[in-house]
Amino acid sequence: MRLSSMADYAVVMMCAAARHCGCHTADRPLLSAQQLAAETGLPAPTVQKLVSKMSAAGLLKAVRGARGGLKLARPAAAISLADIIEAVEGPIAMAACSGHGRGDCTLEGACMVRPHWPAVDAALRGALSGVSLVQLARPAQSFHGALSVAPAPIPAELPA
């Protein structure tokens, strides 16, 4: 399993935005897309596309005017990794048939696993929801040990 490049870039960009959160004052304007591109090393067109997706998802807010720019739409602690990924990728679904709508799987009619994918999707979303933008924006040395997601126990035997 791997994030798409755009979802990965969105996380990087939102972390940069979070590090600037709260540091704008009357003397210092809000963050610009150009500043985000420069800080992250992402191409400006990619940042613009991601700003649009994050704004549409209610994660970033554009403020107009002479001191305008971009800011987080809500506190960084209230934005999760799941929120960012879903803004780019859509709902979290491990298999095509577990998402919204049917996949084109040839096993769909006889598949015994399909009914279980929603629970798997919920567990994955729950784990990703437990990681806040505040945690992700911290320097690496202070992040170590900040996550405490315990794996679910696996039963020794499957129920009959």
**What mean pLDDT do residues 53-71 have?**
90
What pLDDT was estimated at residue 24?
Answer: 46
What pLDDT was estimated at residue 160?
Answer: 45
Residue type, 116: H
For the chain, domains (ranges, CATH) are 5-143 (1.10.10.10)
Of 105 and 26, more confident:
105
Extract the tokens encoding 121: 């999707």
87 contacts: CB under 8 Å, gap ≥ 6 = 10, 53, 54, 56, 57, 59
The answer to whether 116 and 125 have CB atoms below 8 angstroms apart is no
Question: Has residue 156 got a pLDDT over 60?
Answer: no
Q: Which of 87, 52, 90, 44 is nearest to 70 (CA)?
A: 52
Contacts by residues 55-64 (CB-CB < 8 Å, ≥ 24 positions apart): 56/87, 57/83, 57/86, 57/87, 59/14, 59/83, 59/84, 59/87, 60/14, 60/17, 63/30
What pLDDT was estimated at residue 68?
Answer: 81
Residue 69 host element (H or E): strand 69-72
pLDDT in tens, 66-123: 778 899 999 999 999 999 999 999 999 888 777 655 556 777 778 888 888 889 999 9
